[in-house]
Amino acid sequence: MIQILTTYGGLLLTAMGQTLLLALCGLFFACILGLIFGLLSVVKNRACNIISIIFVDAIRGVPMIVLAYFIYFGIPYLLNTIMGFGGVTLSALQAGTICLALNCGAYMAEIIRAGIESVDKGQMEAARSLGLPYWRAMFRVVLPQAIRTMIPSIINQFIITLKDTSILSVIGFPELVNTAKNVVANSFMSFQVWAIVAVMYLIVITILSVLAKQMERRLNRGRE
């Protein structure tokens, strides 16, 4: 175990850094997508609602590993070979980010929709009755209240997404699982390597959970 840590510790730590980088990129765009599609699902416009439903259901209905292959291999093939653009390439980080953003974004959209719907509709009515336009009422009154109820679900989704980065080892992104596989191939010490990797995930996710709890408590302070 010590030998693994001294020989491959740095490599695994770098890989954890790559995992976090990928998760962060994915989550950033997932939040944007989630907000857009979440809002599209609550506005009083049938077409917007349907667009949101299609997006969420399509992403939910496809396993992420398929999505990853589709984006990393399928899209460039479509553009270059079928449509003849040529020279379009996606790096593993780009493809991974898109994949995570779409996948997590769909679940975020559902969380945001449920959060907005949990806010009493009297809040929107009161804001509108004062003359505030719909979107200002949404951003100043409804969303701030929705976010407070959404925080536990959002954090849960962040943790799931962080773990889902491991799936992106299949497109060759040098995140933790992919790197660990190579370390195992070199060292043959499966038990030790995978135990270390598991503990590394555990530590990062525990830290994230604790931070999340603190943030939740701060947001709720004085407003009960």
Partner 1 sequence: MAVNKNNVKIHVSHLKKNFGNLEVLKDVSADIHEGEVVVILGPSGSGKSTFLRCLNRLEEITGGEVIVDGHDLTDKKTNINKVRENVGMVFQHFNLFNNLNVMGNMMLAPTELKKATKAEAKENALRLLNRVGLADKAEAYPAQLSGGQKQRVAIARALAMNPDIMLFDEPTSALDPEMVGEVLQVMKQLASEGMTMVVVTHEIGFAREVASRVIFMEGGYIVEEGTPDEVINHPKQPRTIDFLSKVL
List contacts with partner 1 (CB under 8 A). Answer: 120, 122-123, 125-133, 136, 140-141, 144-145, 148, 222-224
- In the bound state with partner 1, the residue whose beta carbon lies nearer, of 26 and 115, is 115
| Rg of the Cα atoms in the chain | 21
The three-state secondary structure class of 115 is helix
- In the bound state with partner 1, the residue whose beta carbon lies nearer, of 17 and 144, is 144
State the minimum distance, in angstroms, from the CB of residue 53 to partner 1: 22
State the minimum distance, in angstroms, from the CB of residue 31 to partner 1: 20
- In the bound state with partner 1, the residue whose beta carbon lies nearer, of 84 and 217, is 217
State the minimum distance, in angstroms, from the CB of residue 125 to partner 1: 6
- In the bound state with partner 1, the residue whose beta carbon lies nearer, of 86 and 122, is 122
State the minimum distance, in angstroms, from the CB of residue 121 to partner 1: 9
Long-range contacts of 60-69 (CB under 8 A, 24+ apart): 60/106, 60/107, 64/99, 64/103, 64/164, 64/167, 65/167, 65/170, 67/99, 67/102, 67/103, 68/95, 68/96, 68/99, 68/167, 68/168, 68/170, 68/171, 69/170, 69/171
